[in-house]
Structure 1
Amino acid sequence: MNSAEFWKFLERSAEETTDPARRLDWLAYRLNRVSLEHIADFQVHLEAARRPLDTYAMWGAANQIMDGLCSSDGFWYFQPWLIGQGQRWWQHVAQNPDNLADLPAVRALAGRSLWERADAEWPHWEELAYVASSAYDHITGREDSLYEALDARGHRPYFDPAPIDEPWDSDSLAEIEQRLPRLMRLFPRQHYVKP
């Protein structure tokens, strides 16, 4: 599975259904019917797609959408959600985190409190990170067998955010206004921010 096939596979799941749980079922069903090599490829491409998103700039943008409540786990789960939006949106947002303001799934959250958001709307998709591992383990009958296979390929997965840019204060109104003006207009925060 090359990168183009990875994106096509992921986007096909969105054509089948927009419900995250059903998409996951669709992906799991299909991954259980391809070679172990293709399953490992899927995981490698998923992790490669994370890299350009794993920045403090993107974390700050996710934090803005989540009203200042984006923990490291929340950011880790946000990344596969963003990848799940498809290659076009992934590329657009990776260029500039403030471009999240263009994403229909993000715009649908604007003007609503955290408590008014349905679970399926929440910008996280933790389970996508584990779908390949589950399929691999199911086929081999061994737990963590995907990570053994990736290690044999010389691929070292990572399991937590490891931002590659300079940190900034995503709770500072001045910093948010400067870095994320469009997201700030969509998601103004009165709480949890410093002047």
Structure 2
Amino acid sequence: MDIEDFWQFLERSARETTDRDQRTRWLQDRLSRISLTHVVDFQMHLDAARRPIDTYAMWGAAYQIMDGLCSGDGFWYFQPWLIGQGRHWWQHAAKDPNNLADIPAVCALAGRSTSEWTDTEWPQWEELAYVASRVHDQITGQEDSIEDALAARDHHSLSTPQALGPRWDLDSLAEIQQHLPRLASLFPRKRYIKA
């Protein structure tokens, strides 16, 4: 599976299903029909797609959107959600996290309290991170079997954010407006904000 196949799989899952759970099942079903090598490729492409968005600036953007409700785990689950928006939106946001303001799924959350968001609207997709692993386990009949397959290809999947880039105070209104002006306008923070 090359990078084009990876993106086609993800984008087709969005066209053929209506929510994240259905997409997860669709991806697991399709991946279970291909070779184990390609299942491992899928995981490697997913890991590679995380790298350009595993930044402190992106974490700040996710933190702003989620009104401060974005821990390390929350950011880790935000990354596959962003990848799941498709190649165009992933690239657009990777160029500048403030560009998240253009993503339709983000715009749909603006102006609403996080308590009003449904589970499927939350900008997190934890299950995508485990799709390839579950399929690999299912086919081999061995738990965590993908880890050995990844190691054999000199690849190790991370399990927590390794956010790169300069840090700034995610609760400072002045810094939020400096770094994320469009998101600050769309998502005025209610929690833990400092003037």
State the Cα distance separating 1:69 from its structure 2 match.
1.4
State the Cα distance separating 1:17 from its structure 2 match.
1.4
State the Cα distance separating 1:191 from its structure 2 match.
2.6
The runs of at least 4 aligned residues of structure 1 exceeding 3 Å deviation read none
Other-structure match for 2:68:
68
Other-structure match for 1:127:
127
Count of aligned positions: 195
Other-structure match for 1:52:
52
Structure 2 distance, partners of 1:182, 1:93, is: 13
State the Cα distance separating 1:189 from its structure 2 match.
1.2
State the Cα distance separating 1:158 from its structure 2 match.
0.6
State the Cα distance separating 1:164 from its structure 2 match.
1.7
Structure 1 distance, partners of 2:151, 2:171, is: 38
Report the residue type matching 2:69 in the other structure: L
Percent of aligned pairs sharing the same letter: 66
Between 156-165 and 100-109, report the one with greater CA deviation.
156-165
Report the residue type matching 2:36 in the other structure: L
* TM-score of the aligned structures, taking structure 2 as reference length: 0.99
Report the residue type matching 2:148 in the other structure: E
Other-structure match for 2:179:
179
State the Cα distance separating 1:167 from its structure 2 match.
1.3
Structure 1 distance, partners of 2:171, 2:38, is: 41
Instruction: Please give the per-residue CA displacement for 1:103-123, whole angstroms capped at 9, x wherever unaligned.
Output: 000000001001100100000
Instruction: Please give the per-residue CA displacement for 1:108-158, whole angstroms capped at 9, x wherever unaligned.
Output: 000100110010000000000000000000000000000110001100111
Other-structure match for 1:29:
29
Other-structure match for 1:145:
145
Report the residue type matching 1:106 in the other structure: V
State the secondary structure of the residue aligned to 1:121.
coil
Other-structure match for 1:39:
39
Structure 2 distance, partners of 1:187, 1:114, is: 10
What is the root-mean-square deviation in Å for CA atoms of aligned residues?
A: 0.6
Other-structure match for 1:115:
115
Structure 1 distance, partners of 2:104, 2:18, is: 13
Matches within 5 A, 1:82-97: 82-97=82-97
Indicate yes or no: 2:184 matched with 1:188: no
Other-structure match for 1:161:
161
* TM-score of the aligned structures, taking structure 1 as reference length: 0.99
Report the residue type matching 2:93 in the other structure: V
Other-structure match for 1:10:
10
Structure 1 distance, partners of 2:164, 2:111, is: 31
Report the residue type matching 1:142 in the other structure: Q
Structure 1 distance, partners of 2:45, 2:154, is: 14
Structure 2 distance, partners of 1:113, 1:4, is: 37
State the secondary structure of the residue aligned to 1:120.
coil
Structure 1 distance, partners of 2:99, 2:138, is: 38
State the Cα distance separating 1:51 from its structure 2 match.
0.3
